[in-house]
Structure formats: structure tokens, C-alpha cells
Amino acid sequence: MRAVRHHEHGGPEVLRVEDVDRPEAAEHEVVVEVHSAGVNPVDTYFRDGSYTPFTLPMIPGVDVAGDVVEVGEAVDDYDVGDRVYGTGLGRDHYGAYAEYVAVPTDRLAHLPESVDLVAAGGAGVAAVTAWRALVDHADLEPSDRVLIHGGSGGVGHAAVQLAAATGAHVVTTAAPAYHDRLSGLGADAVLDYGRDDLEDAVTDASDGGVDVVLDHRLDDYFQFDADVAAPRARVVGIGENDPHVALTNDGVARGKDLAVQFMSMFNTPDLSVPLRKLAYLLGESDVEIEVADTYGLDEAVDAQRDVMNESFLGKLVITP
């Protein structure tokens, strides 16, 4: 089969398409014929050595969607021909930038017939991170006011829809070009993150302060989050550009009994649990993954450059 691999760490140019053996299903795995594989920033971190994959040469790709073509001996929940999607590959397991990938069943879920396989390939990291942040960590409730930074991103646009599906009041930030589309996805207020009065705008849009914050750039917004938070608010941090994250005025956070949760999707105890719940929402069109662009295996270098450098709403996806 054809697969994208890198034999060393470095820039996108270390990626190359090679002919390799098709994987076989281990006892608790299925082999999936890949229809699509999401392109995520984390893919680039494994490639450049910021995060260390389990081996080299490595096939990148955390997310996958496709059809089951082989089932391991201990697998009884899946059959050949089943439509599936999954996530959590690419770190301790070969990834999905390939024509076929072996996937452990604890990182997999059945996919309803109504869900597009290309879009589903971009769902895993984005939707599961949003679920873990909002549902598992923030205990989001229908009456909550939630601020989602970067609503046009992969996680952001999934989080906007998930929060809206719960009945929460959703405030998000994005470039003006994406405001109408994010309103269509369920945001009650979409604000330009570059405006000078953003703090006042968030406070006004949330009627005095937000109960939940989903933050992908804590190094930039941690103090901002504390300032716009309502009493007993919950902040969930999913990332930052600079590891030096700090409050300049912790008294504000203390005075509000602010709760802060750092998280990584890779720490999910059983990825199949949120994947199954999200599959239902995908099937009901309560959450839809927007695909900004698709790439072939031969275009993986461009895909990994674009995911870090280009502005777009939704996800980039490789379609072998």
C-alpha cells in the first residue's frame, strides 16, 4: 500500500510517500481502508520532534474514517464492511496517512450511514477534544454561558456546535470573514478577536460574564479568561503557543473561585466512549465537521504546512 512516512524529525519536507506492507489486524484491532484522515497541528508536532512518536520511520495521522476490511480475533463489535471513524493514532501507533491503517477498537466507533466519510475523517481530534473539554471537564449545562476562543478552528467550530446542542449560550471569537458561518453553526454572539474592547464585548454578550471558557491559547488569554469569568466559572485549557502560562492578577481568579483544567485528548481513558456519543450527534446533524480543503497522499507536505499557516474554517483532510 501507499503511505506517507518520515524517517527523521524535521520540517514538512521530511514527509514522503512510500510503498509499505499493508497492516494486519492484531487481536483487538481492525484494519480500515482509509477514506479520509484529518490533518491536525499535533501531526506536525510528532513530525518535527516537539512530541516524540513511538518509532521511526513513522506514518502520521491521528484521525481516520473508512470501511473495515479485516477484523482481529478478539473483536466482536465490528464486521467487515462497517463504516467507522476513530482517533488517537500517530503517537504510539502508526497513523492514518495511508491507504490502510490498523486501529485498536478502543479508539474507534461505528459511523451512521448519513455521515459523510470525508468529513468524519476530520472529526476525531476536533470533536473529542471539544467533548472532553466542555462535557467531561467543564460539566457544561444548558443554562451556562460559554466562551469559545477561536471558533473557526477545528476544535472551535466543533465546540460551538456541541455547546449550542446542549442549549448553552455560546459566545465565540473569530476573524470577521467567518462570523456569518459561525452564527449558522449555532453561536449566539461572534466577536472579532482583534477588537480593542473585546473584554467588554464578551462581558456584554454573556450578560455579565461567562460560566465556561474553552481556551486554545492560554499564554495569550489566561488573564483575559479570569477577567471575563463569572463567579465559579470553569476554564479548560487545551493548548498554548508559549509554555509560560501565568496570571498577572491571580486575585481576580481567586475572588471568583475560578476552576482551571488543563487537558490533552490523548489522556482520554477510553476514546471509543466520546466517539460513540459524538457519532450520534454527527448522525443527527447536531454537529457537522466543515471541510475546508482536501489533499491526496502526495500533497501531505502542503497539508501540514497549511494546517499551521493558513486561515480557514473547519478541518483539512487527506483523502488517499
Concatenate the DSSP letters of all residues of 143-190 into one string: T-EEEES-TTSHHHHHHHHHHHHHT-EEEEEE-GGGHHHHHHTT-SEE
pLDDT of residue 54: 87
Residue-wise pLDDT tens digits, 250-278: 999 999 999 999 999 999 999 999 999 99
Same domain? For 133 and 260 the reply is yes
CATH number (domain holding residue 117): 3.90.180.10
282 found inside a domain: no
Q: Is the pLDDT score of 101 beyond 90?
A: yes
pLDDT of residue 308: 96
Same domain? For 199 and 240 the reply is yes
Are the beta carbons of 135 and 159 closer than 8 angstroms? no
Residue-wise pLDDT tens digits, 183-202: 999 999 999 999 999 999 99
Same domain? For 205 and 294 the reply is no
272 found inside a domain: no
Q: Cβ-count burial of 166 within 10 angstroms (0-12 exposed, 13-18 middle, 19+ buried)?
A: middle
d(CA 148, CA 177): 17
| Total of domains in the chain | 2
Same domain? For 258 and 133 the reply is yes
What value does the mean pLDDT take over residues 17-37?
A: 98
Same domain? For 131 and 101 the reply is no
Q: What percent of the chain has pLDDT over 70?
A: 100
Q: Is the pLDDT score of 248 beyond 90?
A: yes
For the chain, what is the mean pLDDT? Answer: 97
Same domain? For 143 and 200 the reply is yes
Nearest CA among 236, 227, 286, 265 for reference residue 134: 236
Q: What is the pTM of this model?
A: 0.97
Same domain? For 180 and 88 the reply is no
pLDDT of residue 74: 97
296 found inside a domain: yes
238 found inside a domain: yes
Same domain? For 131 and 231 the reply is yes
73 found inside a domain: yes
53 found inside a domain: yes
E-assigned strand segments in 7-135: 16-19, 29-39, 64-71, 83-86, 100-104, 108-110
Same domain? For 102 and 166 the reply is no
Residue-wise pLDDT tens digits, 139-169: 999 999 999 999 999 999 999 999 999 999 9
What value does the mean pLDDT take over residues 231-241?
A: 96
278 found inside a domain: no
Q: Which residues contact 251 (CB under 8 A, 6 or more apart)?
A: none
Q: Is the pLDDT score of 305 beyond 90?
A: yes
Residue-wise pLDDT tens digits, 114-139: 999 999 999 999 999 999 999 999 99
pLDDT of residue 103: 98
d(CA 90, CA 293): 21
Same domain? For 80 and 148 the reply is no
Number of C-beta neighbours around residue 201 at 10 A: 17
Same domain? For 217 and 295 the reply is no
What value does the mean pLDDT take over residues 13-29?
A: 98
Tally of helices (H runs) and strands (E runs) in the chain: 10, 15
pLDDT of residue 53: 83
284 found inside a domain: no
**Residue range of the domain that includes 164:** 126-266
Same domain? For 113 and 140 the reply is no
Q: Is the pLDDT score of 52 beyond 90?
A: no
CATH number (domain holding residue 255): 3.40.50.720
